[in-house]
Amino acid sequence: MKELIKKIFAYLMTPITILYFLFFARSNNRLIQEIMFREAKRVARINKKLYSKTKAKMKDATEQEIILNMAFDKNKLSKLSEESRKRIETCCKTINGYCYMMVLDVGRLKGFMIFRQLQFTKYMDWALEMKGFPKQTLKQKKEILEAMGLAFEGWEKWTK
């Protein structure tokens, strides 16, 4: 038994095996980043079309009203609890917050680690800017992340 353990340990410690594991760890990180980046681009593309259609129907509406009407019915929204309604209204102040909420709360990245969710917000911001949406301020982003429960000390480090 001891000989078998020694052979396994010797195999695991070969330089080729170590390099393989180092490469795999890097590939895994790159894979997750690529998934987040593609999801951000996909969501930005979809929401650009949806935003344009909703804005055309609601010419005199505010930005927040347009974003809220992209996915929520006012009657159903008013029936939600105060906490849920405030959270949705806060997130829908900018298109960025709306996208964060949709992807991180109910979308493909639900359940990701907090630092990955914060990292995703950077990709989402970039994708929305590429689609012509205005850049949100740091104050707006902080307010949205606080509403989502993602703002902790040093959150800015993960979103740059």
For 5-21, what is each residue's pLDDT tens digit?
656 655 555 555 555 55
**Using 50, 70 and 90 to split pLDDT, how confident is the model at 22?**
low
**Using 50, 70 and 90 to split pLDDT, how confident is the model at 123?**
very high
pTM of the model: 0.80
> Quick check: 82 pLDDT over 90?
yes
Report yes or no on 27 lying in a domain: no
Residues 67/89, Cβ–Cβ less than 8 Å? no
Higher-confidence residue of 154 and 149: namely: 149
Least confident piece of the model among 44-48, 80-84, 136-140, 150-154: 150-154
**Using 50, 70 and 90 to split pLDDT, how confident is the model at 127?**
very high
Record the tokens describing residue 30, joined without a space.
């790159």
- Inter-helix orientation angle 95-105/138-148, to 10°: 30
Report yes or no on 17 lying in a domain: no
Report yes or no on 47 lying in a domain: yes
The number of folded domains in the chain is 1
Report yes or no on 93 lying in a domain: yes
Q: Domain range spanning residue 138?
A: 32-159
Q: Which residues are CB-contacts of 124 (< 8 A; sequence separation ≥ 6)?
A: 40, 43, 44, 96, 99, 100, 103
Alpha helix (H) residue ranges in 114-154: 114-130, 138-148
Question: What is the mean predicted confidence (pLDDT) over 32-52?
Answer: 93
Residues 92/69, Cβ–Cβ less than 8 Å? no
Report yes or no on 78 lying in a domain: yes
Report yes or no on 144 lying in a domain: yes
Report yes or no on 46 lying in a domain: yes
Question: What is the mean predicted confidence (pLDDT) over 117-121?
Answer: 94
Report yes or no on 98 lying in a domain: yes
Distances (CA, A) of 157 to 73, 97, 108, 115: 36, 18, 23, 10
